Amino acid sequence: MNILPYPHPALRWKSKQIQEINDDLRRVVAEMFTLMYAAKGIGLAANQVGLPYRLFVLNLSGDAEDKEEELVFINPEILKRKGSTEGEEGCLSFPGMYGQVKRAAKIEVEAFDLNGQCFGYSLDDLAARAVQHETDHLDGVLFIDRMTETAARDLQPVVADFETQFRRWQSDGRYPSDEVLKRELLAMESRPPLVAKS
């Protein structure tokens, strides 16, 4: 399992609801946390590691030792959004790129945890921003889609570089073609339980 760079097609995938919480899923979650900490992130969505399921992990402290801050969101739904705010965001699928993104200032979110328990939070500040960013991932929506006009314009060349690099990797054979990758995602969707590909 690896963190996939933009524009890998998994990042534009609208992910499917998770039907069952099992040992495969628990292993995937553990590995996602490991990858997230190694990349110095605070959140990671399943489609960023090539799994088309509605799941993300979060640790706002970014500290692997701070297990109490670890949260797993399975099948999350943002029920309410209030206000509007701009702030800087990065994304592990766009390493090194940061820009101003518009988000709701406050949200209410519900999800299931790894024990299958439903939980809900009212969030603001960084937590609200991170949950909106990660929930967007599950719908194939990226932070570049929600940037301010200025940030989108300024970062356009950087985004283009990510695209050029990924297409180069595809022609080198480091990644298969989009067609093959999409076929793999479709196959995984209809074939739970989760199988984490290396």
Mind telling me the catalytic residues?
A: 134
- Minimum distance, C-beta of residue 65 to Zn ion, in the bound complex (Å): 23
21 versus 147: smaller Cβ distance to Zn ion? 147
21 versus 54: smaller Cβ distance to Zn ion? 54
How many amino acids of this chain bind Zn ion (CB under 5 A)?
1
91 versus 101: smaller Cβ distance to Zn ion? 91
Print the binding letters for residues 47-66 with Zn ion: x by CB under 5 A, - otherwise.
Answer: --------------------
Of 55, 46, 74, 14, nearest to 197 (Cα)? Answer: 46
- Minimum distance, C-beta of residue 171 to Zn ion, in the bound complex (Å): 26
- Minimum distance, C-beta of residue 23 to Zn ion, in the bound complex (Å): 27
Contact 178, 9 (CB under 8 A): yes
3 binds Zn ion (CB under 5 A): no
Give the Cα separation of 67 and 50 in Å (integer).
25
- Minimum distance, C-beta of residue 90 to Zn ion, in the bound complex (Å): 8
91 binds Zn ion (CB under 5 A): yes
Distant-in-sequence, close-in-space partners of 130: CB < 8 Å, separation ≥ 6: 42, 43, 58, 60
185 binds Zn ion (CB under 5 A): no
Number of residues in the chain: 198
37 versus 192: smaller Cβ distance to Zn ion? 37
Residues facing residue 56 across a β-bridge: 45, 73
| Residue with smallest beta-carbon separation from Zn ion | 91
Distant-in-sequence, close-in-space partners of 176: CB < 8 Å, separation ≥ 6: 170, 184
- Minimum distance, C-beta of residue 94 to Zn ion, in the bound complex (Å): 7
Q: Compute the chain's Rg from CA coordinates.
A: 16
21 versus 111: smaller Cβ distance to Zn ion? 111
Give the Cα separation of 77 and 136 in Å (integer).
10
Strands (E), the chain: 43-45, 55-58, 71-82, 85-90, 98-103, 106-112, 118-124
35 binds Zn ion (CB under 5 A): no
194 binds Zn ion (CB under 5 A): no
Interface residues with Zn ion (CB under 5 A) are: 91
